[in-house]
Every structure is written in structure tokens, then in C-alpha cells.
Amino acid sequence: MSNIRHILSISGGKDSAALAFHLRDTRPEIDFEYVFFDTGEELPETYDYLKKLERALGIKVEYIHPQKSFEKLLQQYNNFLPSPTERWCTRQLKLDALIDYVKEGVIYNYVGIRADENRTGLIPHRDDFKTVMPFVEDGITLNDVKRILAENEVGLPEYYELVHDKEHNITYNRTRSGCYFCFFMRQIEWVWLLEKHPDKYWKASAFEKDGFTWIRDMSLEAFAKPANITRVKESYKKYEEYKKNHKVKNGTMMEEMDFLNRHDIDLNDFEDDQFCSMCAL
Ligand code: SF4
């Protein structure tokens, strides 16, 4: 094996999937290694999508497992669940696994950050580790990603499929790859998980111990109560209507906060995603 290695981590999300096709078409001279960091806490849709990509690209994706399972790590952290501020999960389940996997050589790590977004990633700061962002270099945006996936007949991962709730007149979906319990999820995505994968929802619930919860100040057991689900759906509906009627980009932050406060919409549900390149691309 050459001392230089080109690694593309496929997350089961749309951007890394499109990146694999884009690299095949634009850098055919490079011999890529395709890897997937399998935390063991993934959705079945993610595994299905990986299989689909392997078939469409004619590649083999290497599944990389962390040295310790999430459950073991949680015990080690005394049931202290990971959170946006204490994000031990990505480091332990993915970043360390990547460093273990590559061990030697100069690594070119390809990530699917697009030209139209401003994301950061948990990227190892080492001289032998170079991060490459082909979508940024080539000006590839969200529309291009969708086009690439459509042209290659793989489409989006199945969790993007919209759920139609007639009673509340709303549609929603999951919009991210990564662990099914990821604390970056919006509350409507927890509802999605409860409805689509109740087994995973209650597994996530069982990880809540000693007062540590995935959602701020509320256990998943309390979250699942019908009155609360209705609250989340109504809140989501109000915000979607607001977005339709206001170009959020053009509105000032003050206007938006004012609207959310006046309409009793839970701000926690609409925080900007803060995903990183290890988990969600
Ligand atoms: S997907 Fe979320 S919970 Fe899973 S490792 Fe990444 S940040 Fe942590």
C-alpha cells in the first residue's frame, strides 16, 4: 500500500454519498478507500443506503468499529450522556476509530462540506492528516448534490421520506445520518423516531439515567406523552408557517425571536444544526 492514502468516509448521508460519485467522475486517477464509522447505534435506513451505494458505485465500504461500544463508553462516563457541549461520542466513536484505522501513511481525508455551507468538523490536527473539501473546491452546492444523486439513480436516504400527518396538516422527516439518538436532532425528529422506530426510541430512553436526558429538562418517557407530541407538532406547524410567510434569511433575528416567543414555539426545536463532518455528511 502506498504511503499516501485517500480516505472518503461515507456517513450514510446525502453529501458523502454524492461526494463518492463526484470523486469517481472528477478524480478517476485516485485510488480511494471508502470507510463507514459504525457506532452500532445506527438506523436500518443507513445500512440500506450504504448497500445501495456499494452497488451503484461498484465499491466496497469498510465498516470501522470503535474499540468500545456506546454502552460501555456511557458506563465509563458514569451515564453522562454526550451533548453539544460535551461531545465525547464523536471523538470516542469516530475520530479515535479513524486514527486507529489509518495508523500510518499520509492521509488525505475527503469530506463532503459543500460550497454553500459553513460547517466545521472535528478534524485531527496532525501534519500527516490533510483535509480535502472537493465540493468547496469545485463549487458544488445542495442542488448539485441532489442532481448527482438523482443522475446516479440512488436518490436520498430513505429517512428523508416525508411523513404526512393529516390531523396536524404537517409533513416532517429526519434530515441527518448518524446515531438514531443524536442530541442535535430537532424535537420533531424525536417524534419521527418514536413513530418510525419505537424500538430505537425506547433504547435511547433506557440510556437516560441519573437525571441525564437527551432533550434538555425532559426525559424521553415524558416527551412521548400524547399531549407533548401534540405540543411539538403544533409548534412545528407554526414555525413552518412562519418560514413560508417570512423569508427567514431576510427577517432580522429580533423579528424571528419575537415571533417564536409570541407563538409559544420552543426555541430548542429550531436551533441551527451544528453537525460536523464526521457525523452527518
Ligand atoms: S451522530 Fe450525534 S450522537 Fe452520534 S457520534 Fe455524532 S454527534 Fe455523537
26-50: per-residue pLDDT in tens?
Answer: 999 999 999 999 999 999 999 999 9
- Answer yes or no: do 200 and 217 share one domain: yes
Which pLDDT score is estimated for 250?
45
Domain with 82, as residue range(s), is: 4-158
Query: At residue 269, does pLDDT exceed 50?
Result: no
Q: Which residue has the higher pLDDT, 272 or 41?
A: 41
- Answer yes or no: do 213 and 123 share one domain: no
Q: Residue 192: inside a domain, yes or no?
A: yes
- Looking at ligand 1, which residue's alpha carbon is closest to its atom 2? 182
What is the rounded distance in angstroms from the CA atom of residue 76 to the CA atom of residue 74? Answer: 5
**Among the three residues 158, 173, 202, which one is the final residue of a domain in this structure?**
158
| Number of domains the chain is built from | 2
Q: In Å, what is the CA distance from 94 to each residue of 36, 66, 128, 242, 280? A: 9, 7, 18, 37, 12
Q: Is the Cβ atom of 184 under 6 angstroms away from ligand 1?
A: yes
Q: Is the Cβ atom of 12 under 6 angstroms away from ligand 1?
A: no
Which pLDDT score is estimated for 242?
82
- Looking at ligand 1, which residue's alpha carbon is closest to its atom 5? 90
Tell me the pLDDT tens digit for each residue of 115-169: 998 766 556 667 788 889 999 999 999 999 999 999 999 999 999 999 999 999 9
Long-range (24+ apart) CB contacts under 8 A made by 180-183 are 180/41, 180/42, 180/43, 180/204, 181/41, 181/207, 181/214, 182/279, 183/81, 183/82, 183/83, 183/84, 183/214
Of 159, 195, 162, 163, the closest CA to residue 179 belongs to 159
The atom number, within ligand 1, closest to the CA of 177 reads: 1
- Answer yes or no: do 172 and 254 share one domain: yes
- Answer yes or no: do 105 and 244 share one domain: no
Going by their DSSP bridges, the two strands 32-37 and 4-9 should be labelled as parallel
